[in-house]
Amino acid sequence: MGMLCAVSFNRYGRLYYLDPGELRPQVGDKVLVPTDDGPEVAECVWAAQWVAEDTAGFPRLAGLAQEDDLRRDEQLRRRKADAKVAAKRLIREHGLPMKVVAVDHVFGTSESGSDRTTIYFTAPHRVDFRSLVRDLGATLRCRVELRQLSARDSARVQGGIGSCGRDLCCATFLTDFEPVTIRMAKDQDLPLNPLRISGACGRLMCCLKYEHPLYARSSDYPTTGQRVSTPEGEGRVVSRHPPSETITVRRHSDGAVSRCALSDVCGSRQAYEDRPST
């Protein structure tokens, strides 16, 4: 048991959970988060509170952001914005099929030397950007790196709203991408329409993967069209809902449709199959 707080580097961006240590940041406070490139300013979006999990493996806050930290963070944001504008302009001049997704900038230190700007982009194929890097370095007057992102990584970096109306899973809590197959959509009785089962990245939705175990364990459910007996009378299964462990049944007596818990359905699956149809 320990204390955790959640911070975000961008508004509506991914949440990062940290051990506040002796600090007690409140929602809206600016805090310092340790990173590979030194402490960075983030905003507390979930105040420190006790949790049941072991917090020994979580990174610890480096402190509350001071005026110097806030000024440095504002300067960093301006450098990122300037680099993004310059990158878009030079990409147009070079006629390259690239789209700038995000920009990262790191101020130089005595150990690392000069400033470094990393530009993340997407492209339909591999791009020869050597001349672009030279022009960017001369324009921004720092070391420049370009990194091509996949469709899924691009959606994670940019964020957005999914078809469910919530923030993209990859931009909020998913840490790794796992293979998603069309078979998972079939097991979940979803229409095999690419527009219905594809995410913002154009690939199969990630939620098909982490929701699939619920449907994989639904072998005890009666299949659609089978005759079942419920507390409200006999009927036939219209649809199944494994996440809530319920099924929708159309009653024979009046044709009404109702949802009932799986535990209220009498008999086993084999018993349903053995019942004579009417």
The pLDDT of residue 275: 43
The pLDDT of residue 95: 93
Delimit the CATH 3.30.300 region(s) of the chain.
70-149
Task: Pick the closest to residue 200 from 158, 228, 259 (CA basis).
Answer: 158
- Contacts of the segment 226-233: beta carbons below 8 A, 24+ positions apart: 226/272, 226/273, 227/272, 227/275, 227/277, 227/278, 228/265, 228/266, 228/267, 228/272, 229/265, 229/266, 229/267, 230/258, 230/260, 230/264, 230/265, 230/266, 231/260, 231/264, 232/258, 232/260
Task: Pick the closest to residue 271 from 205, 208, 227 (CA basis).
Answer: 227
Find the helix or strand (DSSP H, E) in which 18 lies. strand 16-18
Tokens representing 273 are 């199959």
The pLDDT of residue 99: 93
Q: In the CATH hierarchy, which fold is given to the domain comprising 70-149?
A: GMP Synthetase; Chain A, domain 3 (3.30.300)
- Strand 99-106 to 63-64 pairing: unpaired
Domain 222-274, CATH 2.30.30.30 — does that match? yes
**DSSP track, 44-97:** EEEEEEEESS--TTS-B--EE--HHHHHHHHHHHHHHHHHHHHHHHHHHHHT--
Delimit the CATH 2.30.30.30 region(s) of the chain.
222-274
The pLDDT of residue 168: 87
Residue ranges of the chain with per-residue pLDDT less than 50: 267-278
- Contacts of the segment 78-81: beta carbons below 8 A, 24+ positions apart: 79/105, 79/115, 79/117, 80/104, 80/105
The pLDDT of residue 258: 85
What confidence tens digit (pLDDT) does each residue in 90-139 have?
A: 999 999 999 999 999 888 765 656 789 999 999 988 888 999 999 999 99
Alpha carbons 157 and 34: distance in angstroms, whole number: 20
DSSP state letter for 277 = P
- Rounded to two decimals, the pTM is 0.70
